[in-house]
Amino acid sequence: MYPTKVVLSNGASINIRYPEPRKIIKLPLDLTLLSEEEKKIRLDKRKPKKKVKIVETIEDNFNAKKYLKYIKKK
């Protein structure tokens, strides 16, 4: 038996002896006891996060004709 900490859904913790080596066991939260607003917040946290795409626009004002005078012709 190994010493283990059990964390209850209300945030309280209890020290117990558990047959497997674990440090913490977290018990699930009962959603039926929450208000509608708290329930919505909890369910939104469970959804996967949307990836943000960053689009960079590169301004290209390079003019090759401007540098033709530096090229040597053979």
pLDDT > 70 in the chain, percent? 99
Q: What 3-state DSSP class applies to 7?
A: strand
Within-domain flag for 70? no
Cα–Cα dist 13/7, whole Å: 4
CA distance 24 to 50: 30
pLDDT at res. 1: 92
Pairing of strands 13-18, 2-7: antiparallel
Is 22 inside a domain boundary? yes
Would you call 29 helix, strand, or coil by DSSP? coil
Domain extent, residue 49, equals: 2-54
Q: What is the pLDDT of residue 74?
A: 65
Q: How far apart are CA 24 and CA 6, in angstroms?
A: 6
pTM: 0.46
Please give the tally of structural domains in the chain: 1
The 10s digit of each residue's pLDDT in 9-43 is 888 999 999 999 999 999 888 888 889 998 999 88
The answer to whether position 67 is within a domain reads no
Could you tell me if residue 41 is inside a domain? yes
Does residue 59 lie in a domain region? no
Reported confidence tier of residue 55, pLDDT bands at 50, 70, 90: confident
